[in-house]
Structure 1
Amino acid sequence: MAPWTFLPNWGFRNTVNVTHSSRTVDLPLKNSPEVDGTATIPFNELVKQYVPQAAEEFKFLLKPYLFTGTLQSLYIPYADFSKSYQVSYAREIVEVTEDDAKKFTDLPAGQFTIDYVVDPIEKTPEKFKKRYEETLPEGYPRLHPRCRYYTEKELEQVFKTWGSDDKPIVIVAPGLAGGVNEPQIRAVGEKLFNSGFHSLVLNSRGCCRSPLTTPHLFTGLHTDDMRLVVNRLHKQFPDKQIHLAGFSFGGVIISNYLAQEGSNSIISSAVTVSSPWNLLDSCTALNSSYSGRNIFQPAIIYFLNKLVQNNRETLKQASDIYDEEEFNRVKKTFKTTEDFDDKYTGPLAGWPSGATYYLASSPIMRVFKIKTPLLILNSKDDPIISTAYPYHEVEKSPYLYMATCDLGGHYSFIDIHGKFWYVDVINEFINAFYNNVDQTRKLDDHGFNVKQGGFRDTIDLY
């Protein structure tokens, strides 16, 4: 037997396979008469017609030497992208007061940060450096290249520019340790910016050099930061389409947010890339592979421990859960991500264990509540999450369209030209909605109701 037959899902000729319901939601087209029989296009046909890279049997070549999902996923942290995707970001600190928190179901007081893609005010590196030093809050971590804090006056100018056109807004939710430090996020930001779209990165609390100011670690069900930002932007730009793009864990937050909003969603469309649907199953999958146990899981545990270490003074406020001396002892014993989440993430968020947190936060538990057109992108050789994707559920919902590639790894999909396949997919998908879909009209879901036959549309754990 040839030695390469022991390599699962290997190669560099990639093929896209598509799953969707027999009748996807009908999207009303722009510039059609407002009478019965308004011109529409089915969701799956919109993707097929305007986003051919995500259509059935679309083929593309990957980097030949990145011929497995593990190699694809490992390449990004070690490759030099310093001269690529040199997009600029303006950081805003969003202060959540106790009064703000009372207006939402699960919005802790404290801070989170937003990074807006901007055309930089400073035209030379020297001027940027000077302004960077002037605006960096005292005691705050230094930011990544081409990102600095903006004052309220500077942000007002950004929003004034946004209000001068009808281009859509795209909110990006990065992965577990992600943000503007990642080439994937910068690549998407650059593409959307060059298309004239307005995009921002919503950082999870404590991530991307954002300090925790209250003792709350982010979870897959902490969606109120997203909700606060969406509501604020919709109020400020009521006529603009708002789209969401979530990567890895960010896709979990987006999927849960859309499910919670249900038919009240004001989001035009959303995309998830390499996002897990069953977190408990993904934890098992990560532990079951050699690369998961020995490469990816230790990296995730290192990030989680560092998150706690960097925010230890704030976490001391939750003295019933966090003790610095105990943390320094037990952090060396964590073998799996579930060990960490069982000790800290779950209890800090009110769940009794890591496993119950995973179950409660898994989007599969509320997938049929999603009433927003959602494009799901995954690979079958993802070494970090479970590849038991929700094929049957997608077939039963008119709002979901799933494109799974044979290859691509986790959040990678690096093609033969060294580009991320999904960057163009996201851009063309949003462009298709912007140019063709009338968001002021109701979607026709053909009477979709999973409760027919006595089924429930979600599983409520608490």
Structure 2
Amino acid sequence: MWSLLPNWGFRNLVHATYSKRTVDLPLNDSDDAATIPLKELVRQYVPQAADSYRYWLKPYLFNGALQSMYVTLADFSKAYPVYYARDIVDVTEEEAKKYKNLPSGQFTVDYVVEPKEKTSEEFKRRYQETLPEGYPRLHPRCRYYTEDEMLQVRKLWDADDKPIIIISPGLAGGINEPQIRAISEKLFRSGFHVLVLNSRGCCRSKITTPHLFSGLHTDDMRMTINNLHKRFPGKQIHLAGFSFGGVIISNYLAQEGSDSIISSAVTVSSPWNLLNSCFAINKSFFGRKFFQPAIVYYLNKLAENNRETLKQVPELFDEDEFNRIKKTFKTTEDFDDKYTGRLAGFPSATCYYLASSPIARIFKIKTPMLIINSEDDPMISTDYPYHDIKKNPYLYMATCDLGGHYSFVDINGKFWYVDVVNDFISAFYKHIDQHKKLDDHGFNVSQLHFKDTIDLY
């Protein structure tokens, strides 16, 4: 759409895409009829995401490749010193039966907390005491919490009406990433309750059943949301997804449709068409030579670290074969065609990408969503669904000329979107009544002639 603009520069420009009549959001007001359109809520309370907003980038990070590499290579070890409490969620066979596609086994959740320990030595001691035997070591400032400690965290959450924000990281992401720590710290310092939901096998979590992440693996999120809503029925719940984590969020919201209990959602640098993105990353020099090998390396390590569990499916994973062929994987498609797609129940990576792409079900999303992307993202397809977004009143897209892959490092070295996400969620918490019905001006996907082909799988 704005591809004619040069993909380099120092001053960033935001372009907004939305429906002519965005969904009307009910206000916290004595007047029961008082509402505000989604686009107006953004204009008033999140001006950084409004059309034509400009801001300066860090001068020497003047294109998407440099932005993205900087975040990967720079030293953020002392930045965003937020602490996390890791909790293991055990999914029993009985629990798994309550959901459509929930595998048994384990996944992990990292809750943002104030550190209980007064010294680093005390933290290290508690870290060692609570680390389960045989589990990977965790990233700095994160340790496992006992059941009693998690009970205390939930009691703190129950003491106020502040909203809950679930962060869904990218493919190789989690609390190891400065972006995730930055948004966690900002939301936590705003008084919100924040947790990071790790995909299975990711962020040094251990899988106990042969199930890895996929774009359609939404039931870990669904179970987490349902449990939180049951425990804290009066709280707003918001979702924030980064890169591949946004794919999971978008697919989850589409599956829930008008039954969604989520107050709002934000995605940052998330692909809409996974097949296109698979091709796009190989079109640029940096994509082929830097980003693609890094992702393949991560995927191989993921399989290697969980090889004992994956061997429970011998027809799919043979350790000797894996050791022989892993060096032949040149692209993510190579790995996904051999493992991810088949573990998700598809015969090939192509089928898996088509089925997992949120664009296939974009009109089923009926939760207010802010979508943030850049035109110079070197890791995903920038052929964004502008026309589709204009037809769904629940969606608001802020596309920047520059910014790379969830980097957007501004002139002060900060991630521009951190304040955007915080202000968007704050606007819902302060001004929107989640108990009133939203007015979407009669938007109904069932009225469309191609209703039977919207969700391909």
Which residue number corresponds to residue 10 of structure 1? 8
Instruction: Name the CA distance, whole Å, in 1 between partners of 2:339 and 2:320.
Output: 14
Q: Select 2:237's aligned residue among 242, 256, 261.
A: 242
- Normalising by structure 1, report the TM-score: 0.97
Which residue number corresponds to residue 17 of structure 2? 19
Which residue number corresponds to residue 145 of structure 1? 140
Instruction: Name the CA distance, whole Å, in 1 between partners of 2:143 and 2:121.
Output: 13
Instruction: Give the drift of 1:461.
Output: 3.2
Would you say the 8 A contact 2:374–2:399 is kept in 1? yes
Does the alignment pair 1:456 with 2:456?
no
Q: Select 2:391's aligned residue among 386, 391, 396.
A: 396
Instruction: Name the CA distance, whole Å, in 2 between partners of 1:287 and 1:80.
Output: 27
Which residue number corresponds to residue 59 of structure 2? 64
Instruction: Give the drift of 1:7.
Output: 11
Instruction: Name the CA distance, whole Å, in 1 between partners of 2:46 and 2:448.
Output: 35
Instruction: Name the CA distance, whole Å, in 1 between partners of 2:317 and 2:136.
Output: 23
> Helix, strand or coil: the match of 1:288?
coil
Instruction: Give the drift of 1:444.
Output: 0.3
Output the amino acid matched with 2:250.
Answer: S
Instruction: Name the CA distance, whole Å, in 2 between partners of 1:31 and 1:398.
Output: 23
Instruction: Give the drift of 1:120.
Output: 1.0
Q: Select 1:260's aligned residue among 255, 258, 273.
A: 255
Which residue number corresponds to residue 340 of structure 2? 345
Instruction: Give the drift of 1:294.
Output: 1.0
How is 1:286-297 mapped onto 2 (pairs within 5 angstroms)? 286-297=281-292
Would you say the 8 A contact 1:366–1:457 is kept in 2? no
Root-mean-square deviation (CA, aligned residues, Å) is 1.2
CA 22–7 in structure 1, closer or farther in 2 if over 3 Å, else same = closer
Which residue number corresponds to residue 135 of structure 1? 130
Instruction: Give the drift of 1:212.
Output: 1.2
Output the amino acid matched with 1:179.
Answer: G
How is 1:26-425 mapped onto 2 (pairs within 5 angstroms)? 26-34=24-32, 38-425=33-420
Which residue number corresponds to residue 433 of structure 1? 428
Would you say the 8 A contact 1:9–1:407 is kept in 2? yes
Which residue number corresponds to residue 3 of structure 1? none
CA 249–217 in structure 1, closer or farther in 2 if over 3 Å, else same = same
Output the amino acid matched with 1:86.
Answer: P
> Helix, strand or coil: the match of 1:148?
strand
CA 416–116 in structure 1, closer or farther in 2 if over 3 Å, else same = same
Output the amino acid matched with 1:30.
Answer: N
Instruction: Give the drift of 1:126.
Output: 1.2
- Percent sequence identity is 74
Would you say the 8 A contact 1:286–1:384 is kept in 2? yes
Would you say the 8 A contact 1:369–1:458 is kept in 2? no
Residues 3-37 of structure 1, C-alpha deviations (whole Å, 9 max, x = no match):
xxx99500110000000000000000002333xxx
Output the amino acid matched with 1:21.
Answer: S
Could you list the runs of 5+ residues in structure 1 that have no partner in the other structure? 1-5
Instruction: Give the drift of 1:453.
Output: 5.3
CA 395–7 in structure 1, closer or farther in 2 if over 3 Å, else same = closer
Instruction: Name the CA distance, whole Å, in 1 between partners of 2:449 and 2:5.
Output: 44
Would you say the 8 A contact 1:450–1:457 is kept in 2? no
- What is the count of residue pairs matched by the alignment? 454
Residues 270-325 of structure 1, C-alpha deviations (whole Å, 9 max, x = no match):
00000000000000101111111111111000000000000000000011111011
> Helix, strand or coil: the match of 1:91?
strand
Would you say the 8 A contact 1:107–1:225 is kept in 2? yes
Residues 114-151 of structure 1, C-alpha deviations (whole Å, 9 max, x = no match):
00000111111111111111100011111111100000
Residues 128-177 of structure 1, C-alpha deviations (whole Å, 9 max, x = no match):
11111110001111111110000011011111111111100000000001
Would you say the 8 A contact 1:90–1:117 is kept in 2? yes
Instruction: Name the CA distance, whole Å, in 2 between partners of 1:140 and 1:8.
Output: 47
